[in-house]
Amino acid sequence: MPEIQINVAELLKETVGAARSFDLNSTLLDHDGMVLGAATGDLKITKTDRGVWVSGPVKIMVLSECSRCLNPMEYVVPAQIDDEYLPKVDLATGARVRVEDRDAEDADTRSIDDHHELDLTETLQQYRLAGLLLAPLCNEECLGICSQCGVDLNENTHECQDELDPRWGKLRELLR
């Protein structure tokens, strides 16, 4: 499964405070490999005494449908990444780095693997989940769909509006 990985091997060899910018422009997938949408951002990766610090604004595109008219739509979940990633392996010695005072889940998500790559996938998935809208709207003024016939009321032509008018009800009965 494709992941959003950044190789920090070179940066890890530099001195504390050295930084790189990273232009994030990837497709975010879910755990089953389904496309969730684009993820973009301007990240700064800074060498720390223990690993690297990743920071910067990201935009996560969410493919959804309007909660009123059910038309496909997309919206952006903005987030601010600000996390330290620590290597599992010491670059110089190749020895396992002991993970202290970090819970297991966090250590797994925010770690730099044996190939000196850190993976933003999990972090971005978490931000996306936290930013999902319960009732997204394609437009604040979206009229939704007709409860009678299901037609999109944002479109002008709509024939069953007459039925909603009680004055026509009797006449319609007589014509039946």
Residues that bind Zn ion (CB under 5 A): 66, 68-69, 138, 142, 146, 148-149, 151, 160
Q: Cβ 61 to Zn ion, closest distance in Å?
A: 18
Please give the structure tokens belonging to residue 71: 């038309």
Smaller CB distance to Zn ion: residue 24 or 66?
A: 66
How far is 78 from 66, CA to CA, in rounded Å? 19
**Contact by Cβ (8 Å): 137, 68:** yes
Q: Cβ 65 to Zn ion, closest distance in Å?
A: 8
**Amino acid identity, position 99:** V
Smaller CB distance to Zn ion: residue 132 or 149?
A: 149
Single out the residue of 112, 113, 103, 132 nearest to residue 28, CA to CA.
Answer: 132
Smaller CB distance to Zn ion: residue 16 or 134?
A: 134
**Contact by Cβ (8 Å): 34, 23:** no
Q: How far is CA 121 from CA 23, 26, 117, 136, in A?
A: 15, 10, 12, 24
Q: Cβ 163 to Zn ion, closest distance in Å?
A: 7
How far, rounded to the nearest angstrom, does the alpha carbon of residue 10 sit from its chain's CA centroid? 28
Q: Cβ 154 to Zn ion, closest distance in Å?
A: 7
Smaller CB distance to Zn ion: residue 7 or 168?
A: 168
How far, rounded to the nearest angstrom, does the alpha carbon of residue 18 sit from its chain's CA centroid? 29
Q: Cβ 158 to Zn ion, closest distance in Å?
A: 6
Smaller CB distance to Zn ion: residue 52 or 66?
A: 66
